[in-house]
């Protein structure tokens, strides 16, 4: 399998090719108006998302459908979506463990598979999802679908249900959090609510910095399948870029190479055996599976049992505070083995 094919497959885990094509709908229109500061229900509402598209409604959105990552953030701020679609089974997603989903329509449990009839029945005012850049310059592909959508045809069908608001998942994770908070504020979340969440986030960030200073272990964040290992380029993934800025040492063998991934077949995976800790994406191979790969079974981190299932957290203050606390604990418990 070619590296380009591997990259495409891996992209379905983190970064598919994305784009925006917003269409005016009944009760809403695309315009160049700035975001309204009036969040009362009866006032006209407009919001310019990270693609530069402005959605205008005759009222503040009260019924929100959302991709799981942003739904988590909304619920942490006290907003309850009417519908959620994810890339894994939402009901068993541990990130929702503390939230009541009994009144939420789960309309998608696999990437690109969204029950359009169930979503339409939920009658959302807007649909929230993400868009990844396609390169380090932050270029957004305006011809392809948004993240979490199967294709442009599906996106067009979704736009007939409700206008779509996109959050750019690029740059440093703090930038993504800022974008999410901007939308949350426009949806009526108070400054006090966001400020309280930031206090916990700041404390967790400081603790992660302290942990990284105490124990300078190297962290390899990756996804693996039967074809090989896909190692995240830490400056290209917002989460690792954020943690790197806080002092965490990530594997980064080819910083000027291809965007987002260093890709290794199992035949040449030994070239990346430098990390002391492996964070393995939950949708791919895990510790027992990796031990069955003859060319990787003697990886120092794997041999030391320093392998952890890892799911990139949502980009809201609460989710990131929890994730940073988890990573700080991993770092403090790790030994240098590579």
CATH of the domain at 122: 3.40.50.1980
pLDDT of residue 39: 46
Compute the distance between CA of residue 11 and CA of residue 4 in angstroms, rounded to an integer: 10
Task: Count Cβ neighbours within 10 Å for each residue of 257-294 and write b for 16 or more, e otherwise.
Answer: eeebbbbbeeeebeebbebbbbbbbbbbbbeeebbebe
Higher-confidence position of 287 and 25: 287
Last residue of one domain, picked from the residues 129, 157, 189: 189
| Residue 338 located in a structural domain | no
Binning pLDDT at 50, 70 and 90, where does residue 37 land?
A: very low
**Full residue range of the structural domain in which residue 261 is found:** 197-333
Mean residue pLDDT of the chain comes to: 89
Out of 37-46, 183-192, 313-322, pick the least confident. 37-46
Per the CB < 8 A criterion, the answer to whether 21 and 152 are in contact is: yes
For 115, the token pair is 């029950």
Task: Count Cβ neighbours within 10 Å for each residue of 213-249 and write b for 16 or more, e otherwise.
Answer: eebebbbbbbbbbeebbbbbbbbbbbbbbbbbebebb
Q: Are residues 113 and 137 in the same domain?
A: yes
pLDDT of residue 53: 95
Q: Are residues 224 and 322 in the same domain?
A: yes
| Residue 3 located in a structural domain | no
Residue 102 has pLDDT above 90, yes or no: yes
Mean pLDDT, to the nearest integer, of 233-252? Answer: 97
Out of 18-27, 89-98, 113-122, 243-252, pick the least confident. 18-27
| Residue 277 located in a structural domain | yes
Q: CB neighbours of 268 closer than 8 A, spacing ≥ 6?
A: none
Q: Are residues 185 and 202 in the same domain?
A: no
Mean pLDDT, to the nearest integer, of 222-246? Answer: 97
152 C-beta neighbours (distance < 10 Å), count: 14
Q: Are residues 58 and 150 in the same domain?
A: yes
Q: Are residues 167 and 238 in the same domain?
A: no
| Residue 137 located in a structural domain | yes
pLDDT of residue 40: 53
| Residue 259 located in a structural domain | yes
Mean pLDDT, to the nearest integer, of 235-253? Answer: 97
pLDDT of residue 16: 37
Q: Are residues 210 and 297 in the same domain?
A: yes
| Residue 10 located in a structural domain | no
Q: Are residues 285 and 225 in the same domain?
A: yes
Q: Are residues 55 and 106 in the same domain?
A: yes
Binning pLDDT at 50, 70 and 90, where does residue 28 land?
A: very low
Q: Are residues 311 and 286 in the same domain?
A: yes
Number of domains in the chain: 2
Q: Are residues 128 and 173 in the same domain?
A: yes
Q: Are residues 142 and 263 in the same domain?
A: no
Residue 242 has pLDDT above 70, yes or no: yes
pLDDT of residue 256: 87
Q: Are residues 19 and 139 in the same domain?
A: yes
261-265 and 228-232 beta bridge pairing: antiparallel
Binning pLDDT at 50, 70 and 90, where does residue 41 land?
A: low
Mean pLDDT, to the nearest integer, of 273-295? Answer: 96
Sign of CA dihedral 258, 259, 265, 268: positive
């Amino acid at each position: 399998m070619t590296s380009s094919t591997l990259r495409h497959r891996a992209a379905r885990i983190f970064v598919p090719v994305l784009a925006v094509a917003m269409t005016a709908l009944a009760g809403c229109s695309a315009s160049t108006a700035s975001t309204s500061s009036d969040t009362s229900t009866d006032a006209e509402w407009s919001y310019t998302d990270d693609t530069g598209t402005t959605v205008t409604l005759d009222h503040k959105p009260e019924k929100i459908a959302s991709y799981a990552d942003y739904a988590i953030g909304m619920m942490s701020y006290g907003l309850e979506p009417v519908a959620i679609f994810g890339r894994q089974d939402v009901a068993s997603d541990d990130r929702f463990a503390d939230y009541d989903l009994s009144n939420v329509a789960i309309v998608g449990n696999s990437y690109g598979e969204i029950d359009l009839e169930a979503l339409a029945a939920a009658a959302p005012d807007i649909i929230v999802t993400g868009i990844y850049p396609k390169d380090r310059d932050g270029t957004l592909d305006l011809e392809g679908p948004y993240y979490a959508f199967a294709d442009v045809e599906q996106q067009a069908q979704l736009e007939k249900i409700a206008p779509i608001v996109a959050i750019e998942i690029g740059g440093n994770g703090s930038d993504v959090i800022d974008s999410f908070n901007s939308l949350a504020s426009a949806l009526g979340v108070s400054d006090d609510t966001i400020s309280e969440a930031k206090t916990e986030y700041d404390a967790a960030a400081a603790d992660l910095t302290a942990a990284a200073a105490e124990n300078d272990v190297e962290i390899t964040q990756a996804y693996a399948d039967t074809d090989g290992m896909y190692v995240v380029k830490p400056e290209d993934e917002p989460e690792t870029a954020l943690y790197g800025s806080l002092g965490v040492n990530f594997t980064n063998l080819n910083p000027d190479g291809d965007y987002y991934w260093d890709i290794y077949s199992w035949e040449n995976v030994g070239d990346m055996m430098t990390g002391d800790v492996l964070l393995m994406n939950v949708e791919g191979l895990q510790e027992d599976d990796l031990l069955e790969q003859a060319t990787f079974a003697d990886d120092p981190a794997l041999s030391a049992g320093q392998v952890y299932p890892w799911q990139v957290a949502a980009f809201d203050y609460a989710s990131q505070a929890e994730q940073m606390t988890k990573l700080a604990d991993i770092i403090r418990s790790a030994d240098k083995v590579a």
